[in-house]
Chain A
Amino acid sequence: MSTQTVVGSRPTVAPALSAPAAFRAAVAAEWTKLVSVRSTWWTMLAGLLVMAASAGQLAIYAANANTNDDPADNPGIVAVGSVLIDAVELTQYAVLALGLLAITTEFTSGTIRTTLQCTPARGRVLLAKAVVAGAVTFVLGLLLGGVGALVARPVLGEWGSAPTAGTIGDIVAVATYLALVSVLALGLGAALRSAVLTIVVLFATLMIVPLSLQEPDIAVLNRIADAFPGVAGGHFMAGDTDPYPGAVGLLVLVGWAGAALLLGRAALRRRDA
C-alpha cells in the first residue's frame, strides 16, 4: 500500500485521444463490461433454448398440418428459413436483453456515473454500447439461426426444404433483425432507465399494438401496423414485396433503432445521472 511507487511523483500530461480513438476506447470498455457479467451468457443460453424449442414446435405444427385430416391448412413444403423467422417472434424477447441490460443495469447499480465519468460524451457512450450490443447480438443471431435450422430440418422431414443459399440468407436476415431490435432496446432503455418499463414498451411496440391494429383487418390500420418495427422486420425477413419491398422493411427497422438511440442520447444529455 505504498503510494509513492505507483502514483507518479508528479502528475503527467497524457496525450490526447483523437475522436476515433476515443470511440474505439469506449467500445473496448463496453465489450469488457458485457463479457464480465454472467447475465450475458445466461441471456445467450436462454436465447438458444427458446430458439430450439420454438423452431422445433413450429416445425412439428407444419408437419402435422400437412398430415392431418384437414386439407385446408396444408402449408405444403416449408422452407426451414421461414420456420426460423416465425421462431424469432418469441426468441427476440430473450435476445433483446443484451441491449436492454447493457444500459438498465448501469442505472440500477449506479455505474452509469462511472461510465459517464470515463466517457463524458453521451453520444459516444451510447453508440459504443450500440456497436457492442448490436455486433454481439448479430453473431448470436447467426448461431441461433444455425441451431434453429438444425432442429427444424429433421422435424420437418419430407415437408421441409433447406436450400443452402436461401437458408443462409434467412439466417443472416434473422441475425440482422435481432441485432437491430437489441439496439432498439438499448436506446429505449437509455431513455426510460427501467428494465421493466422498457420491456413493457418493447412488448407493446413489437407485438401488442401492431397485432391489435391488424386484428380488424382494415386497410388503413394495416398500413399503420406496417410502420411498426416488428412488422417491418417481419416483412424484411420474409423478403416480402407487399406492402413494400423487404429492403424498405429493413430501413424502417433501422429508422426505429436510430430514433431510439437519438432519444436515449437526448435523455442522457439532459437528465442528471
Chain B
Amino acid sequence: MALISVALGRLAQAFLLLLAMSLVGFLGIHSVGNPVFNIVNIETATPEDIRNATIALGLDQPIWHQYGVFISNVVRGNFGTSYIYHMPAFALVISKLPATLELACVAMLIAAPVGVGLGLLAGRQSGTVFDRIVLRSSVFALSIPSFWLSMMLILAGAILTGWFPSGGRGATASFLGQEWSVLTRNGFWHLFLPALALAIPNIALIARLSRSGTIEVENLDFTRFCRAKGLSPRRILLRHTLPNISMPIVTIIGLQFGGMLAFAVVVESIFAWPGVGKLLIDSIQLLDRPVVMATLTFISVTFVALNAFVDLFHAVLDPRVRLSS
C-alpha cells in the first residue's frame, strides 16, 4: 500500500517538474534568435516571404498560445520539424538515442564497479595510506574539466600512440532495429575513449560517496552490537553493512547515470560521437528550435524518470518505507 502511495506521489512530483521545465525551456528557446531566418534566405527574402514563413511556423500567435500549442504537441510527442534536417524533431532525437545510451552504459559499467570497490575498500580502512590516496586522487579526477580530459585522451590515446580512433562511431551492428557500436570490434574501439572520459570523474564521485557511506554505516551502533552478539566480520559485512550501504550507493549510481547523459553533451561534441548531446549543441548553434526543445525535454524526462526510479527502488529496498503505516 505504502509503496503505491510513494509511487503516486513521485509521479505527480515528476509531472510538475516536467511542466515547469517545459515552460522554462520554451521561454528560453523563444528568446534565442529568430528561427524564421533558418528557412528563408536572409539576403533574398522579401518581407512577404518572411511574413509567410512566420505564419507557417506559428510565430505570429501570442506567446501563451504558442506555448499551449507546444504543450499539446509535446504530449502527443510532436515537437515539430527540424529546420535543418527536415524530419520530425522527436524522431531525430530518438534516432540519436542508441549512441548516447550505449556510451553512458559502458561508462557506467566501468565507473560503478571500480568506484564502489575503491570506496568500500577506502571506507573500511579509513585513515590509512590507501584511503588517503583514494581521497586525493579523487579530488584530482574531479578537478579535470571533462572537455579537456576528452581532448587529452584523444591526444594520448589516438594522436600520439594511434591505439584508438580519435572520433566517430565506427562500425555498427543492428540489434532490435537500432545500430549499436558496442556490438562490433571496430565500434567498441571507437567507444572506448569517450566512455573512459565519461567514466573517470564518475569513478571519483562514486568512490567518495560510497566511502563516506561505508564509514557512516560502520559507525552505527548495530555493527557494534553485531560483533557483541557473535557474528563473524564476514557475515556482518555481507548481511548488514553492505545492504545498508547499498541504499546510498543505488541513489548515487542512479543519479550519476542521469549526470552522464548531461555530460555526454560535452564528451560527444569532442569525440564527434553522433548522440543526443552532440545533437543538442549542434542545434543550439544552428538555432534549430524544435530539436533543442525536443532534446532538452527528452534529457529532462529521462532524468526525472531516473530520479523517480531510484526513489522507488529505495522504497522497495527499505522496509521503513515499504511497510510504513
Physical interaction between A and B: no
Interface residues, chain B, with chain A CB atoms under 8 Å away? none
Interface residues, chain A, with chain B CB atoms under 8 Å away? none
